[in-house]
Amino acid sequence: MFELFEQIIEENKKANLENPEDYHVNGLLYCGRCHTPRQEEKELMGRIFKPYIPCLCMLEEERKEKEREEEIKRMMEIKRNTGICFYDQNMREWTFANDNHQGDASIMNAFLRYAENFPEMQKRKKGLLIYGSQGVGKSYGAGCVANHLLLKGYRCIMTSFSRIINAVSGMREGKQEYIDDLCRYDLLIIDDLSTEHETEYAEEIVMNVIETRCVSGLPIIVTTNLTPDELKHTESERKKRIYSRLFGITFPINYVGEDRRKRTMVNDYAEMKAILGL
């Protein structure tokens, strides 16, 4: 048995080479940097052994290495979740830091505060209904919220009812499972709610998605060009039920601003004229 322990200690010694600055006190090895023991005395059946132990700076290095590994895992998870979240890679650049401040600054600040207070929004089971004219930046604002939350480790997905309807319509089986799967995400963003649900079948899917999300108690963000009045005063009874449910789980925000797309087109036109010398 002693031979076995001596063999283990010898192997332990090979894995714990002495550094030039290390020193001995009462026959025990001490670290020359943190001045804590690298050996300890152990008695076994009347014999004294001196196994090697990690000093404080070794333990600190192990802690830092574990943190580095955890950070790598975290960044890989964020990268994976970001890839799932957006159907367009350009949306990954939709961040608060990249905002060109063409819209209402108070609105963008409200979006940021929503993202920063997301745990409270989860408790309240409250999302956002972002409405306004076309091109003012509603989708961009919602994308900023998603990217902010993704960096904090939340799972988000940004899609549209048109995409959901197209996906479900092509399925023979698993339609409800597909809709239920949307509840795996901490935040569901439905972009550009408009007139995609003109058929009874499409309206049923839209209602199913909102109802499933609502029952699960999970936040949803919806962007639309329609005003709350237009949503409320629809002639369709099914749509009234849909929008009534939606109003119950979201807070409405009117995004006012100039058309970002028009500005981009104007700037692009000017740059092309300069390049072409026209």
Same domain assignment for residues 72 and 141: no
The Cα–Cα gap between 135 and 225 comes to 9
AA identity, residue 14: K
Mean pLDDT, range 137-166, rounded to an integer: 94
Q: Describe the crossing of helices 138-151 and 105-116 by its angle, rounded to 10 degrees.
A: 30
Is residue 51 very low, low, confident or very high in pLDDT (cuts 50, 70, 90)?
Answer: confident
Does any domain span residue 270?
Answer: no
Q: Describe the crossing of helices 200-216 and 161-169 by its angle, rounded to 10 degrees.
A: 110
Same domain assignment for residues 156 and 241: yes
The Cα–Cα gap between 31 and 1 comes to 30
Same domain assignment for residues 146 and 183: yes
Same domain assignment for residues 128 and 171: yes
Please tell me what DSSP assigns to residue 226: S
Select from 208, 207, 215, 212 the least CA-distant residue to 238.
Answer: 207
Domain boundary among 83, 101, 131: 83
The Cα–Cα gap between 52 and 29 comes to 8
The Cα–Cα gap between 112 and 114 comes to 5
- Between 62 and 8, the higher pLDDT residue: 62
The Cα–Cα gap between 164 and 160 comes to 6
The Cα–Cα gap between 143 and 126 comes to 17
Number of domain units in the chain: 2
The Cα–Cα gap between 150 and 144 comes to 10
Does any domain span residue 275?
Answer: no
Query: Using one digit for the tens of pLDDT, what is the confidence trace for 159-180?
Result: 998 899 889 887 888 888 999 9
Query: Using one digit for the tens of pLDDT, what is the confidence trace for 17-48?
Result: 788 899 999 999 999 999 999 999 888 777 78
Least confident span in 26-35, 81-90, 132-141: 132-141
Same domain assignment for residues 137 and 22: no
pLDDT at res. 9: 66
pLDDT at res. 85: 96
Same domain assignment for residues 96 and 174: yes
43-46: long-range contacts (C-beta < 8 A, 24 or more apart)?
44/2, 44/5, 45/1, 45/2
In a 13 Å sphere around the CA of 194, the CA atoms on its Cβ side amount to 10
Same domain assignment for residues 72 and 195: no
Least confident span in 43-57, 59-73, 77-91, 146-160: 43-57
Same domain assignment for residues 168 and 92: yes
Mean pLDDT, range 196-211, rounded to an integer: 82
Domain boundary among 83, 99, 118: 83
Select from 41, 39, 36 the least CA-distant residue to 57.
Answer: 36
Owning domain of residue 150: 86-264
State yes or no: pLDDT of 7 exceeds 90.
no
The Cα–Cα gap between 13 and 30 comes to 14
Residue 194 sits in a domain of what CATH number?
Answer: 3.40.50.300
Same domain assignment for residues 162 and 184: yes
- Give pTM, 2 decimals: 0.77
State yes or no: pLDDT of 196 exceeds 60.
no
- Between 156 and 278, the higher pLDDT residue: 156
pLDDT at res. 259: 56
